Structure 1
Amino acid sequence: MKNVLISIGGNCNSNISNHNLDFEQIIAVDSGIKHIFNLSLEPSILVGDMDSISEEDYQKVIETNINIEKYQENKNYTDFELGLNKIQNPHDKSIFIIGGEGGDIDHMLSVFFIISNKEFYQNITWIYGKQSILFKNNFSLEVDTNINFSLIPLTDLKSLYIKGAKWELKNENVETGHSLTLRNQTKGKLLQIHCEEGRFAFIY
């Protein structure tokens, strides 16, 4: 799948440049444009109500003829949602989010749950500082040994299976918000997690 990058406001200590990815589409969301410029990348589009972008960055956008879609401040969708809606054929893309670190907790949580409620949630990875947040219901991951991870149930999980970890599970039902799957650790080179029903956030 081809890659898409979305940069949102807030702090950004992401190591996205270490992933050596090429992006078909780069979407800057309001003040998230600064992270794109810091990475020496050129956005495909800037979206948002422009209430947090600096005058310097906005002027640079105008001078470089980057496409701008400006919205009213009073609206029914967040700037981040508007950015997600600009992805072309999202079900066929690997989508990476940067930014959104620190700041108000309601903004952070809104990003988290907006991602988890999208039909294409399994295609999204939020690079949050030195950690990655994946939104899944099953996957396998090649990892180093002794890597800490947490699994956050976003819905009730039916028959959760975890293999390749210090604390493994086999066909365990886990309720939404339960702490059973917090702070686990990889024990092999391959971590396998799946459930019959439900979705979760995987943080490592």
Structure 2
Amino acid sequence: MRAVIFANGELRDREAALAALRPDDWLIAANGGSRHCLSLGLTPALIVGDLDSLPPEDLQNWLSAGVEIRRHPRRKDQTDLELAMQHVFERAPEAILVLGGMGARWDHSLANLLLCFHPRLGEVPCIFIEGDQSIFAVRGKTRIDGAPGDLVSLIPVGGDAIGVTSSGLEYPLQDGRLPFGTSLGVSNVLVRPPATLEVRQGEVIAIVTRVASAGGAA
């Protein structure tokens, strides 16, 4: 079972969001992320958060539809997305997808994105879907799916990524180093999918951009 969390950020591509879903996904809304469910014609199984972004009439409609509501205090130590993830951990999903996780507030966006490294995730992948991009954490060894020509950027976080080895990319790495605070790992190209990536020491954020809608800046 996959858990799909709708956060209260921007949902830039409705078609990409719907295409990412499976019929048996467990749908959760983090606070105002329920508005994305409404716009897509979806009913979440669970809404989590302090509900400050949820209009009272919407809350009543969700209650009438049998949606489970877990309300938290407004004064709290976690974002609504992290609270939703904590509830998801109770169900031990095979993967977590986050839609609408990024928005105009960079503090929320960056904090949300770094939840890909949440200690309770363990081996469970957490993937942010942002329009034509998929964003996820790499610790140890992982597989990178996509189509030939897709862009793959590897950005170290918290320090250098050491012992980085890849296959299936135009610019391969063999026991290499990605220095923290540099752009060395940006805009590699997927040539033989699926690619593989292994990081012996450190952590990396991988961003895969579909080539059909890719754009870039030097």
Rate the CA distance shift 1:28–1:119 in 2: closer, same or farther, 3 A: same
- Could you tell me how far apart the structure 2 residues matched to 1:180 and 1:107 are? 26
- 1:85 aligns to what SS in structure 2? helix
Structure 1 residue aligned with 2:146:
143
Q: Secondary structure at the match of 1:200?
A: strand
**Segment of structure 1 superposing worse, 45-54 or 87-96:** 87-96
Q: Is the 8 A contact 2:138 2:199 kept in 1?
A: no
Asked if the contact 2:46–2:69 (Cα under 8 Å) also holds between the matched residues in 1, the reply is: yes
**How many residues of Structure 1 are paired with residues of Structure 2 in the alignment?**
203
Does structure 2 conserve the Cα–Cα contact (< 8 Å) formed by 1:126 and 1:134? yes
The structural deviation recorded for 1:104 is: 0.7
What do the CA deviations read for 1:7-57 (whole angstroms, capped 9, x no partner)?
A: 110211241321351344221111100112222222111111111123342
**Aligned twin of 1:128:** 130
* Paired amino acid for 1:17: L
Match of 1:175 in 2: 179
5 Å matches for 1:50-65?
Answer: 50-65=51-66
Q: Distance in 1 between matches of 2:171 and 2:115?
A: 30
User: What's the counterpart of residue 164 of structure 2?
Assistant: 160
Q: Does 1:195 align with 2:199?
A: yes
| 1:28-177 → structure 2 map (5 Å cutoff) | 28-89=29-90, 91-120=92-121, 122-137=124-139, 138-155=141-158, 156-177=160-181
Letter in 1 for 2:200: E
Q: Structure 1 pair 69/180, CA: closer, same or farther in 2 (3 Å)?
A: same
Runs (5+) with no aligned partner, structure 1: none
**Percent identity over the alignment?**
24
Aligned-residue offset at 1:73: 1.0
Partner secondary structure for residue 5 of structure 1? strand
State how far apart, in whole Å, the 1-side matches of 2:102 and 2:89 are.
25
TM-score normalised by the chain length of structure 1: 0.89
CA RMSD of aligned residues (A): 2.0
Structure 1 residue aligned with 2:215: none
Structure 2 Cα separation of the partners of residues 61 and 48 of structure 1: 14
Task: State the distance in 1 between where 2:85 and 2:180 align.
Answer: 25
Q: 1:92 offset after TM fit, Å?
A: 4.4
CA–CA distance in structure 2, aligned partners of residues 90 and 123 of structure 1: 14
Name the structure 1 match of 2:4: 5
Aligned 8 A contact 1:90 1:120 in 2? no
**Which consecutive residues of structure 2, in runs of 5 or more, have no partner in the other structure?**
209-218
